[in-house]
Amino acid sequence: MTKVLVTGSADGIGRETARQLVAGGHEVTLHARNDVRAEAALHAVPGAAGVVVGDLASIEETRKLAASGTRYDAVVHNAGVAVDGPRVETADGLELTFQVNVLAAYLISALLPRPGRFVFVTSGMADGGRIELDDLQRTRRRWNGTSAYCDSKLAGLALAYAFARRWPDVISTAVCPGWVRSRMGGPSAPTDIATGAATQAWLAVSDDAAALRSGGYWRHMRPLPALRGAGDPAVQDGLLAACAGLTGTDLT
């Protein structure tokens, strides 16, 4: 039995990932941003070991979420948001998409006792992203919510590569689930939600030799080539440094 935390598991791909892991006999902790969604998540995933609550749009709440000291065997960084409209800043004064999709994953990874595996759920839209280290929150560039989402997913992939390189004792991988029929993907998406969740569930717990290779990028159980914009160690280190500066938390 593997102990797994799945962030953003109150609905969508995260919830389906948790369901598949529970069905496989693993001890799964869910995550929701508030108590109402936490109760709904527990109802939707019978057999889950529990749920942690914390809004990833808050550095303080993200810290509290990670402060339990629980040692997981694997953490699936699934939580994410997309902004359709004007630029939104959180109470921390940070751009919402970047804070939830990138900064929260960094902070959880840095604060939790080091697990055996990280799985970062990214997106095919990362292909259209750019990591501008001097403008990660799009304060200088013209605001576009879709572009900000693409940037954040490329940055999430860079985090996966960075942890694989910095922490060789951790298997760190990333997944593109495809365009999935979910609340975010919409009903016309070509990929069913079970298929969209299967690869990250497999990477979190499998003893297959392929799943044990750190630094991989996957889609539907097949490896993808590294994206040039995320594979540069200098970009990875710059992103880690920026996240450390914004959170006041260095990697140990």
Mark whether 153 is an active-site residue. yes
Catalytic residue (one of 3, 72, 106, 149)? 149
Q: Which residues pair with 75 in a beta bridge?
A: 5, 118
Q: What are phi and psi of 181, to 5 degrees?
A: -75, 95
* Active-site position among 72, 153, 161, 217: 153
Residue 190, C-beta contacts closer than 8 angstroms, at least 6 positions apart: 178, 179, 181
Distance CA 76, CA 203 (A): 9
Contacts 24+ apart (CB under 8 A), 192-200: 193/12, 193/13, 193/16, 194/16, 194/20, 195/220, 196/13, 196/16, 197/13, 197/16, 197/17, 197/19, 197/20, 198/20, 199/175, 200/13, 200/17, 200/76, 200/78, 200/119, 200/121, 200/175
Active site residue 3: no
Listing DSSP states for 132-143 in one string gives -TT-TT-SSSPP
Contact status, residue 119 vs residue 200, Cβ threshold 8 Å: yes
**Quick one: tokens of 177?**
């689930």
What is the rounded CA–CA span in Å between residue 102 and residue 165?
A: 18
Residues with a known catalytic role: 149, 153
